[in-house]
Amino acid sequence: AKDKGKNNCQFYTREMNASIEEKLVLLEGLRNALDDGQFRLVYQPKVDLHTGRVFGVEALVRWDHPEHGVIGPDRFIPLAEESGMIVALGEWVLRTACVQNRAWQDAGLPPLCISVNVSPRQFEEARLVERVQQALADSGLAPEWLELEVTEGVIMRDLQQAVAKMAQVRAMGVSLSIDDFGTGYSSLSALKSFPISTLKIDKSFVRDLGRSSGDEAIASSIIGLAHRLRLRVIAEGVETEQQRSFLRENGCDEMQGYLFSRPLPPAQLAALLNAPAMQ
Ligand code: C2E
Ligand code: CA
Ligand code: CA
Ligand code: CA
Please provide the average confidence, as pLDDT, over all residues in the chain.
90
Q: Residue 239 CA: which ligand is closest?
A: 1
177 lines ligand 1 (CB under 6 A): no
Predicted model pTM: 0.92
Position 180: which residue type?
D
Contact 98, 141 (CB under 8 A): yes
| Predicted complex: ipTM over 0.90 | yes
Q: Which of 68-77, 179-188, 260-269 has the lowest mean pLDDT?
A: 179-188
Q: What distance in Å separates the CA atoms of residue 222 and residue 149, rounded to the nearest whole number? A: 17
Contact 81, 91 (CB under 8 A): no
Task: Compute the average pLDDT of residues 266-279.
Answer: 75
pLDDT surpassing 60 at residue 47 = yes
236 lines ligand 1 (CB under 6 A): yes
pLDDT, position 16: 57
120 lines ligand 1 (CB under 6 A): no
* Ligand 1 atom, smallest distance to 73 CA: 30
Mutate which of 81, 82, 117 to test ligand 1's pocket (most atoms within 8 Å of Cβ)? 117
**Model pLDDT for residues 103-150, shown as the tens digit of each residue:** 999 999 999 999 999 999 999 999 999 999 999 999 999 999 999 999
Q: What distance in Å separates the CA atoms of residue 7 and residue 5, rounded to the nearest whole number? A: 5
- Distance in Å, CA 44 to ligand 4 centroid: 14
Nearest CA to ligand 1 atom 46: 117
Buried b (16+ CB within 10 A) or exposed e, 259-271: bbbebbebeebbe
pLDDT, position 9: 52
Nearest CA to ligand 1 atom 17: 237
